[in-house]
Structure 1
């Protein structure tokens, strides 16, 4: 099932057992912020991006290394070199995604990001080192920015795809089919939002961080809340603005987010996460956040 009908989606979601696959990744990959700078094409539809003078490439490198060290304490984490010709490449989850035995290459909207899809070393890593089959969506015309646009409940095979200039309905269907998901709910993001993973995070298949202001239709927010019940954490506008929704669970007991996001969490949000079984782990990423993304955007998952 794929479409905008929340009733049809809920009919599948309520019956979806957590047996689709592992709830969290077995490894992760990063791309170093070499040449980190404001990409004007990306800034065209990313309101979170700072002005050029706010970028500090050296500090971004230091924070990215700290992120690599931190994630490596939880699961194997590899880091590919960056490229000054691809200043957004430190957000690789938009371009590459995996499912057991295969990897996807996404179709990016902006030419500056389309260059990332041609990385021979990253493709060879998945193909030749991991032995994954390739599913290349980068050469077709419909934007589909992978796990930036599509938030996935890996345990139950459910997708939540926010449509914007970064992902259209055909692109969403291509991702849904490539991942073999049981059901994908399509919806419009609120004006000014560019990626779903800034306003929604599904944590190990049993909880969700939701930024209601990021959705054009409140009925979609209500549907997500029905799926995750008491595990639904509704984030306030200040939490949303601090990237608290751009979080990820890489194990069953911990949710990772930036230090700024963690500082913005309300006591109620912390209690809700604790009740769902998650401790909050944080890494300072303020320099990286100038680029319009935060911790989850930096992390590519390997399933």
Structure 2
């Protein structure tokens, strides 16, 4: 399987705001004082549109779907948490922690993709029934797929259940790499809500905040796994994670040129050495996502659901 795709799905928000239901364990979310909900959404739309234009300009195939006013889905801008699309034609639906995020799942998106020539298998793998029992696995936010090496990485959290993760790995023939990752919140170590906040997998490299993995044996296991697959490991700090430097995604543009997509704040937080290390592998593309990061507690990677589906000839 290939690691990097040229095609992504993005959802343009209509009522973006800080989601009170996700803030209970997403410690990156902030209240922007003095801004009306309309202003927050308008700023998010502006950031979204600028970001999409930058992606399209380098030849990335972006399918933009407009969100709807009802139901109320303030986090719809982050579709990678509820759906994933695979080379086999498989589509996977994931169980979501926040009740209002479950409303983001839309069947019409599959029709839109089929109209664009993407081929989808008749059977959808659906783990959403686990929500009824209080178990969650939030898509490629919770699990990072090293497709070429057949591994899946997962930092366990209230949004990433171990048994569900293992079930996914068995269903799709990935070897599970399981650990816990933490961040400091008001002097306490708390579980990081999504793996893709502290880690990014490219075809030939990995960006990771090893300091987030408090258990030394787990940290060594994860780093050994990455290096064993001959990936260059580029270490970032917890301070850089707070600027969303772990929340990146590698995509292909024109002529299969590889780009590492990230926010402006992530880019600015990187050192010259880290940028030089990354530029040995990819071209960096960044865009300002300040409002989306502050209110949503997610960044560039969360906004893009990769499409690996086969296409009609």
Could you say whether these structures have the same fold, taking a TM-score greater than 0.5 normalized by the shorter chain as the test?
yes
1:140 to 130, 141, 150: 130
Alpha-carbon deviation of 1:89? 0.7
Look up the match of 2:311: none
Look up the match of 1:96: 83
Alpha-carbon deviation of 1:176? 1.5
TM-score by length of 1: 0.86
Secondary structure in 1 matching 2:219:
helix
Look up the match of 1:57: 41
Q: Aligned runs of 1:47-196 on 2, under 5 Å? A: 47-51=27-31, 53=33, 56-72=40-56, 73-84=58-69, 85-100=72-87, 101-117=89-105, 119-125=106-112, 130-133=118-121, 134-141=124-131, 142-181=135-174, 183-190=175-182, 191-196=190-195
Write the deviation string for residues 122-175 of structure 1: whole angstroms up to 9, x where unpaired.
243456763312111112333111100001112222110111100111221232
Structure 1 residues 283 and 44, CA, compared in 2 at 3 Å: closer, same or farther? same
Structure 2: 5+ residue runs without aligned partners?
A: 183-189, 309-313
Q: Aligned runs of 1:1-303 on 2, under 5 Å? A: 21-51=1-31, 53=33, 56-72=40-56, 73-84=58-69, 85-100=72-87, 101-117=89-105, 119-125=106-112, 130-133=118-121, 134-141=124-131, 142-181=135-174, 183-190=175-182, 191-204=190-203, 206-229=204-227, 231-251=232-252, 253-275=258-280, 277-290=281-294, 291-303=296-308
Structure 1 residues 74 and 225, CA, compared in 2 at 3 Å: closer, same or farther? farther
Separation in 1, partners of 2:149, 2:30: 36
Secondary structure in 2 matching 1:36:
coil
Q: Are 2:157 and 2:191, in contact at CA under 8 Å, matched by a contact in 1?
A: no
Secondary structure in 2 matching 1:79:
strand
Q: Are 1:74 and 1:250, in contact at CA under 8 Å, matched by a contact in 2?
A: no
Count of aligned positions: 279
Separation in 2, partners of 1:193, 1:258: 19
Alpha-carbon deviation of 1:94? 0.5
- Pairwise CA RMSD of aligned residues? 1.9
Write the deviation string for residues 17-48 of structure 1: whole angstroms up to 9, x where unpaired.
xxxx0120131010112100111001111000
Separation in 2, partners of 1:74, 1:221: 37
Q: Are 1:25 and 1:302, in contact at CA under 8 Å, matched by a contact in 2?
A: yes
Structure 1: 5+ residue runs without aligned partners?
A: 1-20
Structure 1 residues 127 and 162, CA, compared in 2 at 3 Å: closer, same or farther? farther
Please identify, of 128-137 and 44-53, the stretch whose mean Cα deviation from structure 2 is larger.
128-137
